[in-house]
Amino acid sequence: MTATPGLRTPQLASPDLLRSVFRRHAAGVAVITASGGTGPVGFTATSLTSVSAQPPLLSFGVGTGASSWPALSDADHVGVHILGEHQQELAATFARSGADRFGAPTAWQEGPEGVPVLDDVLAWLVCRVVARVPAGDHRIVLAEVVHGDPAGAGRPLLYHQGRFTALRD
């Protein structure tokens, strides 16, 4: 290995290194929802990725220790909601452990395939789960888009340096 001038000594791989690097990566904020046996479940995700245009596929990660995982592990369909910059509180609610995520002031309704659909988001999709791939302490959920609405107004909410933020002009 050749030394590169100005390159600091690299850290060994660890969960802290991964978290530190990804705190510098700005990501869009989504909420993933599903119907569970005891009611709707959901969580805030920054791992949403477009996978394929044909067929229309996306993916997201979910921790197997998350309160939503038992319902998501059995769900045939999930809701994917792109949040706007006006929805920082909603993002925080769905990120908070033990929160009543679907109680007031969260506004939602039952959508296609019985999936909870959040009101006033920039865009939403209902997707059919096609795979759950083990990935360490998470599962990568691969899902095919079956319904959606891209017509919400506003600008996207971002997550950067451990906090929710907005785009700057």
Assign 3-class secondary structure to the chain: CCCCCCCCCCCCCCHHHHHHHHHCCCEECEEEEEEECCEEEEEEECCCEEEECCCCEEEEEEECCCCCHHHHHHCCEEEEEECEHHHHHHHHHHHCCCCCCCCCCCCEEECHHHCEEECCCCEEEEEEEEEEEEECCEEEEEEEEEEEECCCCCCEEEEECCEEEECCC
Angle formed at CA 74 by CA 69 and CA 80, multiple of 5 degrees = 65
Percent of the chain clearing pLDDT 90 (strictly above): 79
Could you give the CA distance from residue 168 to residue 155 in angstroms, rounded to a whole number? 10
The better pLDDT of the pair 58, 7 is held by 58
Q: What are phi and psi of 112, to 5 degrees?
A: -55, 145
User: What pLDDT, on the 0 to 100 scale, is given for residue 12?
Assistant: 84
User: What pLDDT, on the 0 to 100 scale, is given for residue 10?
Assistant: 82
User: What pLDDT, on the 0 to 100 scale, is given for residue 89?
Assistant: 96
User: What pLDDT, on the 0 to 100 scale, is given for residue 167?
Assistant: 86
> How confident is the model over 146-152, as a mean pLDDT?
96
Q: What is the pTM of this model?
A: 0.90
Could you give the CA distance from residue 5 to residue 16 in angstroms, rounded to a whole number? 25
pLDDT in tens, 126-146: 999 999 999 999 999 999 999
Which residue is it, tokens 């959508």? 111
Q: What value does the mean pLDDT of the chain take?
A: 93
16's torsion region: left (phi>0), alpha (psi -120 to 50) or beta? alpha
Model confidence at 29: pLDDT above 80: yes
User: What pLDDT, on the 0 to 100 scale, is given for residue 3?
Assistant: 60
User: What pLDDT, on the 0 to 100 scale, is given for residue 80?
Assistant: 98
Query: Which of 70, 65, 72, 90 is closest to 143 using CA atoms?
Result: 72
